[in-house]
Structures are given as C-alpha cells and as structure tokens.
Structure 1
C-alpha cells in the first residue's frame, strides 16, 4: 500500500472547519448539482446571480484557520482584557450564574439553537420558561402584565415613552425624565424622541414637577428607582402630581431591589421597565441582557414586543403561545406599535431560572447581602471623614470628595477595583452579589480612610440598614410553586431537562425557516462567550482595560465592511430592528446636514419585512408603498412613478436583496441609480445576506446603507427568539452619522445620531461568535457557504416542484437561498390549510418553514448550507408524503375535517387513548418517511387554539395543578 506524502503544514491544519460547517460534502454536492442541472457550484451561482452585481475580486479577509488556532487567538484577545472588580453600577452588576443554569441553558444547544416560538406546539418548554420570567417581572414590579422581554433597559424606557404617548390622554406636551435616571437611558430616549417630534425635558424631580414644565403639559414621566446616584426616594407624590396632569408614569426599577422595596405598581406607576441582567446574566461588556416592561391591565393590548399567554389545545388542555403582538410588525407595518420583532429569550430564560432556583427567600437574601455591603461601605467612609451624599440607598453609594474624585478612582483602580467618576467632586460605588470584604477594604483605602475604619465585624454590629422604612416591601411575591420546588441542583437540572425535552431546536433537526437562516452555531464559536475575560467586563470600564474586546470589535467591523462593500460598520444595534432604525436615522441626519430636511419619504415594496415600515415611522419618515410585480420583483414602473411624484421629498428606498420572495432581482442596479438620480438613498435590508457573501456586495452594487443580522448569516444563535445583533454598514458619506455613546466616546463618531442601544457596543458579549465564524471560514469558505446555501434551496425547489408550485424564480428557473412553495391551489380544492401542512410536519419530525410570509398560504423554505443531503432529502420526502396525504383528502378517502393533517400534531397521550379516526394510530404518529419510533419527537400538546388565547389574555405561571403531588 502506498500513500501520497502529506506536508506537515497540511497535517497541522487538520480538517478545515469549512467541512464541519457545510453539511453536504463534495459527493453530495455533485448529486445535488445534477438534480438542479449544473456541473459545479461556480456554474450554478454564475447562472443565478445577475452579472451586474457580481463581485470580481475575492474577499480581502485573513485565511481560514483551524478551530484550535482560532480558539488560541481568541484566548489571546481575551487575556488582553483586564477584568477588575466592577463597582461602577449604572444598571450593570457582577452576578453569579448558577452553574446548573450556565451549563444547562446558556451552554446548551437545546436552548440556544431554538427559534422564536411561532410554532407553539413544539415550543412549550421555552414558553413556560418565559412565563416564569413574566411572572418574576410582574410580581416584583407589582404590575399585572409583563412582556416576554425587550432588548435592554434603555430601549425599554424608550418604548415606554412611545407607549405613554399612544395610550395617554395628553397627546401633546413633553416627556419628563428625572435627572437621576441612568445616563445611557436618557441618551437613548433622546435619540428616539427627536425624530418622533417628542420634546424631552430632563429635570430634578426630587421636589416634584417644576412649574415651568407643568405649564408645557406632560404626557409621560420617567423615574429611576433607585436612582443612578443610588438615592432611594419615595416617588408617590411625583406620581400623584403627574397623574393629576394626565401623564402616564414609568418607573425604571432594579429587580433585585424590589425584593426589599415597595413595588412600582404599589407606588402608583403605570409602567415599569428595567433590566434583568443581575439575575444571573454576565455583564458581557454590555449585553445581551433581557430588558423588561410591565404595565397596568388596561395597557396590556398596547404592550410592545412579545407576550406569552395561556390558551388551550384541541383536547382542552392548557397550552402556551405568543399572544396579541406576535409578528404584528408584519401585519400592521407602519401602524405597528413598535419595530421590535425579536426579544432576548435566552437571557430572559436565564434570569427567570435564576429566580426559580433561588426563590423569593433566596433573592431577598442576595438583596440583603448586597445592601448590607453598601451600608457598611458608607459607614466606613463616614467614619473616615468622607461625606456620603445620600442617607438612604440600596446598593449604590455616592461619596463627595471635593476636587479629589479622579484621584480616588485612580487609586481604587490601582487596587483592582473600578469605581464611577461621577464628576470632579463625586464618586459612585455600587455593590452587588459578588462584592466581598476585600472590595470594601480596597475602596476605603482609595479614599484614604482605611486607618480610621474599625474592623468589619465591629462595623457590622454598629451599622443599621439604609433603606427607608416607608418604602419597605410587605407584600408576598413569587408565591407560585415553581419558585419553591427547585432548590436542589438535582431538581433544577431535571426541571431544565423536562422543559428542553418539550421543545424542538436545531439540535434535534432541520428548521427550514425562510428569511431566518437557521444554520450551525458551532461549539468552537460559542465557547469563548462564557470566558470570564469576555463575560465579566463592565461596558463603562475604562477602554484601556478592554483592549482585547476593542480589537475584536474593530476587526469584526472591518471584516463585515469588507464582506458587504461598505466603508464603515457599527455593531452597536442589538437587533435587526435597531440596525434598521440606526441606518434610517443616519440617512435622515445626512439629508438634514445637506439642507434637505424635507426629504422624509421612505419607499418600501409591499413585500418587504414589516419591520422596515415600522422603523421608517420611528425615524420620522412617511412610508409610501411600492407595488410588487408578479415575479416578486419591485415593480419598476410603479417605483419610477413614485420617485417622480415625490421628487424632492424622497429620502430613501428600502429594499430586501435578494428579494423577500427569494429571488435575485435583475434590475437592482437600475433601481439604485434611479433613486440616487432623484437625490435619495438606498437601504438594502441585510436579512438575505446569506445569498450574497463572497458573491456580491451591497455597498458596491448601489446601496448606501444596510443592517446585517449576525444571528442569521454570521452564526449567532437565535436563542428561542433572541439574542441578536444587527450591525449597520454605510458608505463613507453616511459614516459621520453612525451611532455613538455619551459614556464611551470610542464607540462612535462625535457627529453621530446618539446611542441606539443602552451599551456602547451593543451585545458585545456574543460578538466572539461571529468573529470566530469569519476567522474559521476565511474568504473561500464564506463564498462556498453561500454557494451551497443557494444550491440547497434550488435542490429543494427542484425536488418539490412536481408536487407543489414554486411561486417565484429568477432567470433559468433558479431561486436564491430560499424558495416559496404555494399551497393555495391545494387549499382551494381540498380545504387543507397552510396550518394543516405546518402542524403535520411536526409528526414527521420537522419544524415548519416560514408560513404565509411574504405571501399568504405559502411556505418559505431556507435550508441553509449546514444541513446535509440526508436531512434535505428527509424534509423533501416528508413534504412529498404530505402531498400524497392531501391527495387522499382531495379524493374523499379522508374528509376535510377528519384527516391526519387536520388532526396534527398527534401526541403520545392522544394515541394511548380512545381512537375513532378514519386513519390509524401508525399513520398519525409514524407516517411514511418519519423518524423511527426510537427517534420520535413527541409534541407535548395538540394543536393550540390561537383565537382562544387572544380572547383570554393571561399572564401567569404554569397552572398550579401541574405541580400537585
């Protein structure tokens, strides 16, 4: 036997990561290409991608590296970060993530690879976990209805401002913000208010609403409880005064403090917002963290974002589902209450489970310990002659040292502790769950008072609490059994496993959702996220302590710019919706800087993602809809007519490319040119970038701005509906208007639009994932991934075409990275609905593709490059078998109302009970092509009644009877 000699360099490289990421190997790709009718990937994409947009040069990226090498490189970057003990506060705190939650939620693909629970029957685990989160927020805030999480505290407060304006009696007037609110929250509100025409007034409300402000009229008030300074003030008088003026009152609250302090609802607040970060979620240099909002009952149906409610399944059993606002942007478009279409599910699950694990007593004990350290800290400072500004506080102490504040902060830093430099005279010191005696000693020493401080035990015995008696909480919270039954790690482990088993995620099988790009989230990419050098850094730490992070961020921004053809990228937006808003605000600022404030019209095709229209309205623009042609393309004639009609008013055209219908439009460059000739800008929605990377660059074929979805194309996992990152890329003329941040000047240009997210670099904690993906794949790997994504979509289209119409194709009958199959003709003949097909796919062991978007009665299928040929074939065979089942309904063998499709999904309990169906139990649970019995995924509930859930809106934990015995 002879073998060819392999070089040491080749042996050291090992198996290229590309082969791990891309599902079909060379042999399978050849079979797929034969089915589609092409001889190579290059031949296929040459035919599919229009010549006018093709890139002629390879991506200028570093070469691909092995998994081991990339981990070593990331380890080097991590070690360049200096993780000091953080006592900065301002909404970000050290916390201990219980290892059982770290390992079994944050690091568990059963949780992090799940998609948004739009198919609730196979999402019951995460929906219950989100109900737990909602119950935590509702109980602690004292308001009955909580959402399933928002993006962060700053944007939650901005959403509260919009909600106050929408539901309040006062339609004009100002939005009044207390000066002791978190500075990043104030800045985000100001960014969001200006294009909406809202005047924001920041004032000291300690002694009530100033008379001059009251004269202007006030539609909403925002208070911080406790304040950014640490002060705990009784807000009841201000709330009463605001209500007398007809204003809606929002309280931005700290959840941990609410275990000890009177709830905002009890104090009279209408809305509560905040962050759940300190409930076991690492700081991560700013995110991702689950923001929250809770409201009074009368505002429940105006709540932005997502709400999990309780409904019933076909047998009358209780079941959970998203209620009311689910994907409302895609329905209401410019009339949507918000552009938020994602949440922070994974982080909300972690925070909710933190409360489940600790329970009310455990949470209160953590809060008391945190407060105790703050009280001792203050007492020690006072003993050393330092003025403590506030007599009552929860976890944050403000000390006044005239002219010495910078010196104190520097001394503390030398001792390994970061404090907050409030101004030249004041220092802020925040305690948290991780604070210990060593930190107290270091802080006292930094103030120069250590020699005057008695021993900590002696000080503890002599020091009372610093919480105001009038605000101590006396009502019960978290009384549900779920917060009392999982104290041992064994019990918690089993609870997490039970919920995960109820769900369908990528670790089980393919999730072929069109426009959502559910592909491999490689373990190598995920691993660094939980390293302490990335997870434990405060977002407002001195930038020279974050050298590794900032290097990673700059490199990722530069590489994303290279991939897209733009000149500059900002990674601050922490969701695609926020990226859209940032891009449109940059366009708005550009026109204003050029003396064209009248340019406010945003042209949007009728097929576009609904968030486009919602974002445009939030950016102060007027939405004008462009018709979509029969082929799915933008109607060029209608576009040119609208350009001519609006002329000098035209601000921007928003288009998705490839189109929302999954087609490479031939005329995209002409469309861009027409808009530019009229003085407008072109926004290309980056949702479908997985069809372009390495083949074409939006910034080079005519676009001025795009947002990218790192949770789609660049491998950040969806996490059950969040986290996400939505960077915005722009050409050079828009770069001066990218987001910036008042607390970190390095985060963006001084001329920027202000912060779009609360943290300077958004959800920085998950950026190592996308950085690693680009580094592992290299230019050629990224290009091949795109080509295989296009191949896989065309392979599915060709296999299914004899059985279902493929609705839209481009030249040569090709699609891009996704295809749309039309079920409407079958529905018309047989009565089998798109819902029936989607639910029947569960019996076959699949998550359904995207339903009825962008066209009602269709399925949009995106296989991605990560699914291998066996899984693609399994899906195709399931769809073909379902087509045969539909035929049996059409011929009358099964009735329209009683057949396996209408009865789907079938549960184990249903099969074990009485059976009076015209089809067998085996046909129900094990149809042809479904997984073997040993591999069967059993849905926990039957089909859920959506209308019931919306009529009977409930926000509560799982029913008590589930915990009997």
Structure 2
C-alpha cells in the first residue's frame, strides 16, 4: 500500500491483526473469503493504473485543468459568470465542517446548516413572492420537471402541459424525458402560450422569465397568461432567473403558482454544469406536494426555537411509490453557498449586482443597434440574441480568439449573456467581434417590469456586512453542526468515509471550477480526458461495459437505469413489460424511481434471515412473467449481508425476460472483491458520494452515475447541446448538465488514482472488518439482526433494540439522541427494520474510534438496564431527556435523578489534552426537538426576531 492508502484506512496493521484475531481469522483475505460468496468472488485483481502519490495526482489534475479554456463565459442558458466571495469559498465550500456533514435527519446536531437552509428558503420565498420554498433541488432542468409533476398531481385536467418555446433547451429536454415515462403530452407553444392554452386542455403552462433568447415578457402579458391559465384550471409554472428577480416584479404578483430555477449565479462556480442548487417555491396549498426537503421551524423540549426537516411524510423513504418525488439528496452545500452569498451582499448588494449586469447588457445593446444589428427583443435583463445573417460562426470564433465564449444559436444568430464577472474589457471584445464600436450609450431595458415588493428584509440579510462579522456568523453556524471532522458518523447504507484533502483541492482549480458546460468541446479537453478515464475505471471496478456520469444524484441514477431498461423493452417490442419487482426492504427511492420510469411496483417479501424470499420471488415472477420488466435489488443486501442467492435471483429474472438492476448503494463492500456487472446484473447506479469519497455536503451534492452492460448502452442518457454526453438514440437527458455534477468528478478521479486496485480492495476489506468487529463487540448487548451463512455481516450491521424497547421503554430515538452526549452521530434509525439501528463504520475509522463507539453503546445499554431495574423512571432518565445542551446543565434547578456530570460527561467523555486521550466536548445547541409541533405549525422562512425572544 502507498502512503495515501495507509492514511485513508483508519485501522493500522497491528490493530487489524488484533481485530481479525477477535473474529477468528488470520488475514483480511481469509475474512472476506468467508464473507463474500465464492460464486461472485473476483479471482484476479482489477485492471487499474498503479496508485499515485498525492503530489502526482494533484500535478496530473492541474495539467488536466490547464487543458480546459474557461475564458469569460457569456454563453448563458442558465449558467452565468459569478464571483464567489473569498470568505465564502474558504469558510464554506472548502471547509470540512460544512462539506463532511450528513443530511440533517438528526436536527439537534444540524442546527447550523438548517439555519443556512432556512436562509435559502427565505431568499427564494422573498424573491419569488411565494410563501413556501424548498431547501433546494438538483438543478433547473429537473426543477422544471418536478414543478410540472406537482401541477399534474393537483390537477384533475387531462395530461397536457403547454411549454414556452423559449424554455431553456436542456430544461425542455429533461422535461421530455420525464413526460415520456409518465405519458404526459408536451405542447411547445410556437405560436404563443395564450393561443396554445385556448387550444389544449392543459393542466399546466410553463414560461421562462427571461426567455432562453433573453427576451423578457411584459408584466401585463404574464398577468394575462396567469389569468387565462387559472380560468382554464391550469397551474402556471415560471422558470425565473433569480438575479433578475431583484429588479423585476415577484412572479407571485402576476399570478405564478410555482416558480423554479437555479441559484448558481448566487456565488456558485460554473463547475462545467454542476453541482448547482435548483430552487422551487409554491403557492399556499401546495406545500404537501412539494418535492424534496423543506426546513421548518419547531421548538425543543425547553421551548427554544429550533429548525428541523418538515413534512417528511411526503418523502420517498416513507411513501415509496406514492412519494411526491424520488429525490433523496438535495444540493445542500451549494444552497448554503447561495444563501451565504445573499447574506454577504444583502438586498442592496444583490440589486446593485443585478443593475450592473443589466446596465452592461444595455450598453452592449446600444452598440449593436448603432452598428445596424437587430436584437430579439427590446425588453431584456442580461441576455441578447443578435441577428448576424451568415456570420454567426465568424462572430463566435472572433470572440473566442480573444478569450470570450459566446453562444452560437444558429448560422444567423449569436447569443450574448452578461454575467457578474463581465467587465468593460469583455464588452469591448464582444463589440469588436460583432464589428461594432462600444460607446457610452445604453438601449433597451426591463419594459414594464419594476420591482415594488420588498425582499430580504429579515435581519440576517443586514447584520453581516463586514467580513469579520460574516466570518464569525459562519463559524458559529458550523459549530452548531456535527460533521465528520468532529467525529464518527456510523450511518448504515450511507458510507461516511474520509473525503481526502488532496482530492478536494483540485475542484477549486479555475480550469475545473470556471468552465461553462456548453463551451466548444475543444475547450473542455481536460474534462473530456478526465471523464473518459473515470468512466473506464468505474466500468472496470463494477464489471459493466459503459458508464454515464450525467445523473447528479443516486435517485437520478436509478431513474436513468430504469429508463434504459424501459427503452430496451420498447425497442424489442415488449411495451407490456412494465412490472418492477422490488424487495420489501429496499430503499424508498427504488419504488419511487420505478413509478417515475412508468413502471408498476410489485413488492417481494423478505425472508426471516433478511434475504429476498426466493419462494415469493418465484411466485411473483410466474404471476407477472409476460409483463416483467426488472427486479431491483441492493447488494450486499439492505440488511448488510452478502446474500448467497444473488446469482439465482439474476438467473430467474433473466429466464423470465426481465432485467436485473443492482442498487449500488453498498458498492463500498465489493471494491476489488466482486463486480455486479459480472455476476448477473444488467445495470447499477453508483453513489460516488458514498463509495468514491465525494463528500455528502450536509445533504448534497450527490453523484449517481449509471453503469450498464453493452445491450443497454444505446439507452444511456444524452444531451441536446453536447453530443459527446451520450448516444444519439437515447430517451434524452435526466439532468440539466451534460455530465451532471462534473465539478466534483475530480474528487473521485483522484480517489481511485490514489488508491489503485490494491488500495480499493483493502478499503472494502477494512470496511468489512470494521463492521464485523463492531458487531462482535456489541452482539451480547444488542443482538445483531442478520448475518450471512458464515455468521458474518458485510460492511454494516443491524443492531436489534426491539426487545430492549419492550422491556425498558427506551426507543431507538432515545439511543440516537443519547449518542450525541457521547460525541457521536447516530446510526441509521429504523431502516430497513423498525426499532433497529444500522451501523456502518467504513474503512476510515481507527480502532480507537471504533472502540470508543462500542464503549458508548455498551454504556448506553447499562443506562437502559438502569431504567429497566427501576433505578431511573422511564420518563426521567439520561436517555429519555437526551441530548443535554449546556443550557440545561447550567440551569439553576436540577431535578433529575441522575447527576449533571452523567448527563454531560457520560462514560468515556472526558476533557484533557487531545494528545493524551482527552476529547473536546460536543455540545448540541438545542434539546430534543418537537417534530410534530413543527408539522402542525409549518414555518419555513426565517422567523422574526420576536419569535426567538418569546
């Protein structure tokens, strides 16, 4: 192993030897030979390049970044030049306190990012004028599709959506993919939206403001369109530029029911198309149909206002095939960045940036008009479409030669979009490329648009004008969170492993961060090579033949893979094959994604040992043999076991004419040990944010590439503007960016290059060792629910608390909250089995940290016993009252039957020098939060200061 591998894997050789001895094995190979079924086991090492050092990896990535030519991007189409304030770049985007955090399902230890997301929601709600906003979506294209899905759910009118011909082309293409699967008809209104609404019985109409060509519909026209839509019983969806909304009237004022878009231009780098935070806001009455996450305000057990995720009963992990969406991750890190950008600039600063952009566009418009050229419209915000008959390619080439990228619309038209980073020099370059002279004159404007409603009035958007104050605010927020830089996050199925700094640094290289996704392919040569190599490496690791990196979340990867299966059956004359078999234990996204892909979910029972019930599977296959499209299984299983029956499952489904989808959520346990594409699977999505070191970012970005065997390769996603993104005959794109969240792909490239074949295998083996070590240490106190034929688990184990709960009244929630007092994030609660905890230690944790976790769990078991024997009342004990914030510990009155010291400093938690075994105490900022109160009293924007005072 190289130096990096030994640092990435937390357990040292001596520790591993002792851990193996405790399990009765002589080596890692012996352990994994016993755990991994022989039928699927690899017999030869992966064919990957030799591992590189950190220095070599960064040097190669720097060379790849240098082959990209960002220039100044004036292409537009939803991606704009922006300036990330250095204080935000360094203290948020590049700060492990923010990027190594997990989804805030444990709100008591997530108050920092939840507050930042509440700021984001407030920003979106204020600018759109709508009362309820979500905590971000994946990108603008998928946000448009989600908005149409919301409108379809609430409407009782037919299956037609009328779409603005001026919608961003990638958004239209993503919407076509979604509607193709669900049977919704799209009518593109070439002759005007109003005329199309009068012709078709539509449930929704979608308008782009401003349009893709830059034209800004008049406020009067938009108001009339909204009135006509509502008279016809349709919902009006507006895809709106967030910066433009600081100057033009809020869409709610002219009648929009749903507003979506991207927050990219609020300080988030271009990143070659992603990751970026999409946004969505809805009118009153649609909040329970909203896809994704909503941050809401509730209160803790002491009445202190506290944030948490609201209305989770809408989400896929609870409602499965009836969920509002299959989205499992948001774009939290990018939404936080955008919200901090708004906090940094405030309403006046944002308006000044917008006015500067608009004024520079007007100045360029005046020069073009004075030179005899014509524009697409008189009213615009930042984008001009210029008629240059027969000269478009010449103009674009001239600007490119001087370092500015313009948009080649067609042979006769050029698009120009002014960004925050566009200065006088760039305007002069553009004017020269068109053959005109830049003057001081201005032309055009916003038409009849004028923003009259206030926005960002909350004190948070006014209080941090100085960098000193902003820095302290951001530090204060991160201190309220628990992230991987503070301690172990043993969440089962989530794989919270090290995100190495050497892999993280390159995403900030200008060649990676500053590139527009629609530059000429010659100017993205570095990305092309990186993407090609990464696809080859992932194909080798998984045993598949082709990989698409476009899906920008695991849920998107699922959808893309299922759409490939659907397309394959359609191409072979089997349109009737729409049944998808899904085990009862599967993650909720599986069922939700299947419905989105136009399939019908049939649930397969789970056997007593946690495996797929083969008898029930055979019966379901026989029952649906003529209509069987696919089976979706997770391997190793959702129960954390290498099932011996996986090859038999594949055989039975293939014999019935179906395809096998293996969910790649647990791929970390198979690296270098087994390859799903070679043991019978046809398609998998991968979670780069789990297996390949891209950080979870507090709930996103996620990256969910889809890998397929050769017969499904023609049905991988493509893109309307970038031919190299996928096969021409595909169903279309699933994400707005041609390569999804391309900006974070250097992390996975670096991780694989640093580890090499041997390192990846050692990582999987070490993860399996850690899980079995924890299981063995805890099984006497907390029975391990499932294990394989060898008595071993895979990379995670399920601890069964159900009998203990019956005897003591202590629930998994109590244990999860008490772990906070011990300085841990909780394991996964009640999934896949209610009343259990699923623990995944990963390969990155040291034996000392594994032991600290085990000792905390054993101490908690002793506390449970003290409740059982009557030492403490069932309703007044350290578990029931956990977590214990400092405010409780220092309260004047202490009325509990246990000491303050036990509450705050339980066994193993002691102060002292860090180098001598001491540990800083993690203090939650709030006590246990009342979830039900927050759902009954939904508040999803920043509350007034008076709410905190009361």
TM range (shorter): over 0.9
For residue 131 of structure 2, the aligned residue among 125, 130, 144 is 144
Deviation string for 1:392-431 (max 9, x for gaps)? 1000011111111111111111121111111121111000
CA-CA distance at 1:76 after TM superposition:
0.8
Is 2:924 the counterpart of 1:939?
A: yes
Change in 2 beyond 3 A, CA 1:734/1:825: same
Query: What does 1:925-964 align with in structure 2 at a 5 Å threshold?
Result: 925-932=904-911, 935-961=920-946
CA distance in 2 between partners of 1:396 and 1:606 (Å) = 50
CA distance in 1 between partners of 2:712 and 2:732 (Å) = 14
CA distance in 2 between partners of 1:566 and 1:173 (Å) = 37
- Indicate the residue corresponding to 1:82 in structure 2: 69
CA distance in 2 between partners of 1:467 and 1:101 (Å) = 31
- Indicate the residue corresponding to 1:3 in structure 2: none
- Indicate the residue corresponding to 2:915 in structure 1: none
CA distance in 1 between partners of 2:703 and 2:573 (Å) = 32
Residues paired across the two proteins, number: 940
CA-CA distance at 1:325 after TM superposition:
2.8
Deviation string for 1:151-203 (max 9, x for gaps)? 00000000001000001242x14111100110000000000001101001111
- Indicate the residue corresponding to 1:98 in structure 2: 85
CA-CA distance at 1:932 after TM superposition:
2.5
Query: What does 1:498-517 align with in structure 2 at a 5 Å threshold?
Result: 498-517=476-495
Is 2:421 the counterpart of 1:421?
A: no
Is 2:337 the counterpart of 1:347?
A: no
CA distance in 2 between partners of 1:233 and 1:204 (Å) = 15
CA-CA distance at 1:326 after TM superposition:
6.4
Residues 343 and 723, structure 1, Cα contact 8 Å, conserved in 2: yes
- Indicate the residue corresponding to 2:445 in structure 1: 466
Residues 261 and 472, structure 1, Cα contact 8 Å, conserved in 2: yes
CA distance in 2 between partners of 1:356 and 1:963 (Å) = 19
Residues 32 and 768, structure 2, Cα contact 8 Å, conserved in 1: yes
For residue 757 of structure 2, the aligned residue among 779, 785, 798 is 779
Is 2:717 the counterpart of 1:739?
A: yes
Is 2:182 the counterpart of 1:162?
A: no
- Indicate the residue corresponding to 1:4 in structure 2: none
Deviation string for 1:452-485 (max 9, x for gaps)? x44xxxx2xx4255111x2110111100000001
Residues 878 and 930, structure 1, Cα contact 8 Å, conserved in 2: no
SS at match of 1:886: helix
- Indicate the residue corresponding to 2:903 in structure 1: 924
Residues 686 and 707, structure 1, Cα contact 8 Å, conserved in 2: yes
For residue 546 of structure 1, the aligned residue among 504, 524, 539 is 524
For residue 246 of structure 1, the aligned residue among 219, 233, 244 is 233
Residues 643 and 650, structure 1, Cα contact 8 Å, conserved in 2: yes
- Indicate the residue corresponding to 1:177 in structure 2: 163
- Indicate the residue corresponding to 2:180 in structure 1: 194
CA distance in 1 between partners of 2:415 and 2:7 (Å) = 49
CA-CA distance at 1:215 after TM superposition:
3.6
Is 2:749 the counterpart of 1:749?
A: no
Is 2:291 the counterpart of 1:304?
A: yes
CA-CA distance at 1:795 after TM superposition:
0.2
SS at match of 2:629: strand
For residue 271 of structure 1, the aligned residue among 258, 261, 264 is 258
What TM-score results when the alignment is normalised by the length of structure 2?
0.98
CA distance in 1 between partners of 2:788 and 2:442 (Å) = 75
Deviation string for 1:695-747 (max 9, x for gaps)? 00000000000000000000000000000100000000000000000100110
Is 2:308 the counterpart of 1:321?
A: yes
Residues 372 and 465, structure 1, Cα contact 8 Å, conserved in 2: no
Deviation string for 1:238-285 (max 9, x for gaps)? 111111110011000011000000011111000000000000000000
Is 2:374 the counterpart of 1:387?
A: yes
SS at match of 2:309: strand
- Indicate the residue corresponding to 2:770 in structure 1: 792
CA-CA distance at 1:216 after TM superposition:
3.1
CA-CA distance at 1:34 after TM superposition:
1.2
CA distance in 2 between partners of 1:931 and 1:446 (Å) = 68
Is 2:227 the counterpart of 1:226?
A: no
SS at match of 2:677: coil
SS at match of 1:81: coil
Residues 169 and 247, structure 1, Cα contact 8 Å, conserved in 2: no
Residues 650 and 660, structure 2, Cα contact 8 Å, conserved in 1: yes
Is 2:472 the counterpart of 1:494?
A: yes
For residue 55 of structure 1, the aligned residue among 35, 42, 64 is 42
CA distance in 1 between partners of 2:772 and 2:627 (Å) = 41
CA distance in 2 between partners of 1:419 and 1:509 (Å) = 47
Q: Which moved more, 1:580-589 or 1:76-85?
A: 76-85
Change in 2 beyond 3 A, CA 1:22/1:382: same
Residues 392 and 411, structure 2, Cα contact 8 Å, conserved in 1: yes
Is 2:44 the counterpart of 1:66?
A: no
Is 2:397 the counterpart of 1:410?
A: yes
Residues 785 and 798, structure 2, Cα contact 8 Å, conserved in 1: yes
CA distance in 2 between partners of 1:952 and 1:227 (Å) = 37
CA distance in 2 between partners of 1:951 and 1:72 (Å) = 54
Is 2:880 the counterpart of 1:902?
A: yes
Residues 844 and 931, structure 1, Cα contact 8 Å, conserved in 2: no
Residues 332 and 698, structure 2, Cα contact 8 Å, conserved in 1: yes
Deviation string for 1:305-324 (max 9, x for gaps)? 00000001000110000011
For residue 705 of structure 1, the aligned residue among 675, 679, 683 is 683
CA distance in 1 between partners of 2:313 and 2:422 (Å) = 40
SS at match of 2:205: strand
CA distance in 1 between partners of 2:704 and 2:308 (Å) = 26
Residues 365 and 442, structure 2, Cα contact 8 Å, conserved in 1: no
CA-CA distance at 1:209 after TM superposition:
2.2
SS at match of 1:900: coil
CA-CA distance at 1:961 after TM superposition:
4.2
SS at match of 2:798: strand
Q: Which moved more, 1:843-852 or 1:78-87?
A: 78-87
CA-CA distance at 1:85 after TM superposition:
1.0
CA-CA distance at 1:210 after TM superposition:
2.0
Residues 131 and 958, structure 1, Cα contact 8 Å, conserved in 2: no
CA distance in 2 between partners of 1:733 and 1:576 (Å) = 22
Is 2:557 the counterpart of 1:579?
A: yes
CA distance in 2 between partners of 1:838 and 1:242 (Å) = 49
- Indicate the residue corresponding to 1:726 in structure 2: 704
SS at match of 1:712: helix
Deviation string for 1:831-871 (max 9, x for gaps)? 01110000000000000000000000000000000000000
Deviation string for 1:628-682 (max 9, x for gaps)? 0011100001001111111110000000000000000001001100100011000
CA distance in 2 between partners of 1:301 and 1:533 (Å) = 41
CA distance in 1 between partners of 2:936 and 2:228 (Å) = 35
* Structure 1 unaligned residues grouped into runs of 5+: 1-12
Deviation string for 1:517-537 (max 9, x for gaps)? 000000000000111110000
Residues 152 and 159, structure 2, Cα contact 8 Å, conserved in 1: no
SS at match of 1:821: strand
CA distance in 1 between partners of 2:622 and 2:596 (Å) = 25
What TM-score results when the alignment is normalised by the length of structure 1?
0.96
CA-CA distance at 1:748 after TM superposition:
0.4
CA-CA distance at 1:214 after TM superposition:
3.2
Residues 173 and 216, structure 1, Cα contact 8 Å, conserved in 2: no
Deviation string for 1:49-69 (max 9, x for gaps)? 000100111000000010001
